[in-house]
Amino acid sequence: MAPDWSHFGLAAIPPLLAMVVQACNPVSHRVLKKSAEHDMAIFKDGHDYETLVETTAKSAEGAVDISGLAPSVVSAVSSGFSVVHDLPSPFWPAVCYVLPFIAVALLTLRLLGGCSYLEIKSESLILTVQGKQILIRKTRSEVVVIVIYGVNISLFLAAALVYIFYPPEVCTT
pLDDT at 172: 53
Residue 92 lies in a domain: yes
Residue 63 lies in a domain: yes
pTM for this predicted structure: 0.65
Residue 146 lies in a domain: yes
CA atoms of 51 and 82, how far apart (whole Å): 48
Residue 173 lies in a domain: no
- Which value, to the nearest 10 degrees, does the dihedral of the CA atoms of residues 43, 47, 52, 53 take? 70
Residue 1 lies in a domain: no
Residue 145 lies in a domain: yes
- How many structural domains compose the chain? 1
pLDDT at 92: 83
List, in sequence order, every residue forming a beta bridge with 75; answer none if it has no partner. none
pLDDT tens, N- to C-terminus, the chain (173 residues): 555 666 676 677 777 777 777 777 656 677 777 777 777 776 777 767 778 888 888 888 887 777 777 777 777 777 777 777 777 787 888 788 888 878 887 888 788 777 777 788 888 888 888 889 888 889 888 888 888 888 888 888 888 888 888 776 655 55
pLDDT at 61: 81
Structural domain including 76 reads 6-165
Residue 171 lies in a domain: no
CA atoms of 53 and 49, how far apart (whole Å): 6
pLDDT at 98: 80
Residue 172 lies in a domain: no
CA atoms of 139 and 94, how far apart (whole Å): 32
